[in-house]
Chains A and B, each alone.
Chain A
Amino acid sequence: MDQVKVIEIKKSIFEDNDRDADRLRSELKQSGVYLLNLMSAPGSGKTTTLIQTINLLKDKIRIAVMEADIDSDVDAVKIKSATGIPSIQLHTGGMCHLDAEMTRQGLSGIDLKQADLVILENVGNLVCPAEFDTGAVRNAMILSVPEGHDKPLKYPLMFSVCDVVIINKIDVMPYFDFDLEKCKEYIHMRNPKATIIPVCAKTGEGIDTLANWLLQEVRDFQR
C-alpha cells in the first residue's frame, strides 16, 4: 500500500531566484557591465524616455537594450531605429515579469565585451517585476503624471525596491491635478533613499539630469 508522509520544506519561492540574481550581479561586476532594470506601468513612456536618454549618452558609453514584452518586437525595433544601438527583444511567453534566469538568457544575446551599460526594459506592470530580482545593479521605475501622484501608496513594494523614480510627462501636470511635492513625499515614505528625477520625454526637459545620473552611476561602478 502507498505510504502517506509529510515532507517539510519551509522555503520561500523567491529563494532560488534571489540566489541566482546575486550570482548574476557578481558576474556582471567582474565584466564591468552595469545592468539597469527599468520598470513601470504600461504606457508610462519607458521607450521614449530611453530613446532620449540613450541619444545623450551613446557617444560617452557603450549601451545595449533588452526589451521584455509578452509579445511583439515594436519596442526593440523602435529603439534600434531611433538610436542605432544594439537592441534585442525578449518574450516572456505570457509571464508578467522577468526573473534572473530569463535576464541571463537575454544577456547571452548581447556582446557584453562591447557594453558598459545594459538597460533591461521590464514588462509593463507595477506588481510582479518588483518581486523578482533580475540581478540588476539598480532598479529604476517610471511613474507618469496621468497615473496620479498616489501610486506610491497603492504599489508600496515597487516603490520600495527602486533606487530611482523617474516622473515622466511633467508637461501635462496641470491637466491631471498631479501634486509633485505630494508624490515625492509618498515615494520617500516607501523609500527614504530614492532618487527622484522629474522629466518630460517628449520635450526633453530633465532628460539631461537623468542621463548625468546614469553616466555617473556607470562610471562609479566601473571604477
Chain B
Amino acid sequence: MHELGIVFYIIRDVKKVAEENAVKRVATVVMNIGEVSTIVPEYLTDCWRWAADKEEILKGSELKIEPITALTHCDNCSKDYPTLAYGKTCPHCGSPNTWLLQGNEVEIKQIEVKT
C-alpha cells in the first residue's frame, strides 16, 4: 500500500512540529495533494485513520485534502493547459516541449491544534 508509506512520513513531520510547539492534541491536518501526484485521496484518508489513531497526539484527528489542479506549461507557445486532459502534448500548438507547472504536490499545508 503506497499511501500508507506516505502517511508515515506525514505523521513523522506533524509530530515534529507538534513537539516544537508544545501541542497537546492535533485536531486536523490539511494536505495539499496535486492531481498527478499518484496519491489516491480516499486511500490516504483511510490509511490516516488506521495509523493516526495509534498515536496519542493524533487520535481522532482528521486528514483534510485540498486538491491542486495539475497545469502544464508549453515552452513553444508559452501557454498553460490542464495536464489531466492533454498530458505532455500541448493542445494549443501540438508541441511536446512542455513541463509540469503544478500538480505534483504532496504537501502538509497546515495543522489545527489544541495547546
Do A5 and B109 form a contact, CB below 8 Å, given A13-B9, A128-B5, A189-B88?
A: no
Chain A residues with CB below 8 A from B5, complex form: 95-97, 128
- We find that the number of chain B residues with CB closer than 8 angstroms to chain A is 29
A: interface residue count bin: 20 to 34
Chain A residues with CB below 8 A from B107, complex form: 10-13
Does A14 interact with chain B (Cβ within 8 Å)?
Answer: yes
Chain A residues with CB below 8 A from B78, complex form: none
| Residues of A1-36 contacting chain B, CB below 8 A | 2-14, 16-17
The 8 Å CB contact of B112, one of A4, A10, A95, A96, is A4
Report yes or no: B111 in contact with A7, Cβ–Cβ below 8 A. Answer: yes
Does A127 interact with chain B (Cβ within 8 Å)?
Answer: yes
Does B38 interact with chain A (Cβ within 8 Å)?
Answer: yes
Nearest CB on A from B39, distance (A): 10
Chain A residues with CB below 8 A from B79, complex form: none
Does B84 interact with chain A (Cβ within 8 Å)?
Answer: no
Report yes or no: A9 in contact with B13, Cβ–Cβ below 8 A. Answer: yes
| Residues of A105-154 contacting chain B, CB below 8 A | 127-128, 131
Chain A residue with Cβ nearest B108 = A9
Nearest CB on A from B31, distance (A): 9
Q: Which of A9, A12, A16 has the most CB of B within 10 A?
A: A9
Chain B residue with Cβ nearest A7 = B111
Does A57 interact with chain B (Cβ within 8 Å)?
Answer: no
The 8 Å CB contact of B38, one of A9, A10, A12, A127, is A127
Q: What's the Cα separation between A3 and B106 when bound, in Å?
A: 28
Does A77 interact with chain B (Cβ within 8 Å)?
Answer: no
Does B101 interact with chain A (Cβ within 8 Å)?
Answer: no
| Residues of A163-191 contacting chain B, CB below 8 A | 189
Q: What's the Cα separation between A13 and B107 when bound, in Å?
A: 6
Chain A residues with CB below 8 A from B106, complex form: 12-14
Report yes or no: A7 in contact with B38, Cβ–Cβ below 8 A. Answer: no
The 8 Å CB contact of B114, one of A4, A9, A97, is A4
B85-115 vs A, CB cutoff 8 Å, 1 = contact: the mask equals 0001000000010000000011111111111
Report yes or no: B96 in contact with A9, Cβ–Cβ below 8 A. Answer: no
The 8 Å CB contact of A157, one of B6, B10, B38, is B38
Report yes or no: A4 in contact with B113, Cβ–Cβ below 8 A. Answer: yes
Report yes or no: B115 in contact with A3, Cβ–Cβ below 8 A. Answer: yes
Do A7 and B21 form a contact, CB below 8 Å, given A12-B105, A96-B1?
A: yes
Q: What's the Cα separation between A68 and B50 when bound, in Å?
A: 26
Chain B residue with Cβ nearest A132 = B5
Q: What's the Cα separation between A71 and B25 when bound, in Å?
A: 35
Chain A contacts to B: CB under 8 angstroms: 2-14, 16-17, 95-97, 127-128, 131, 157, 189
A-B contact pairs, 18 of them (CB 8 A): A2-B25, A2-B114, A4-B113, A5-B113, A6-B110, A6-B111, A7-B17, A9-B13, A9-B17, A9-B108, A9-B109, A10-B108, A10-B109, A13-B10, A13-B106, A14-B106, A96-B5, A127-B2
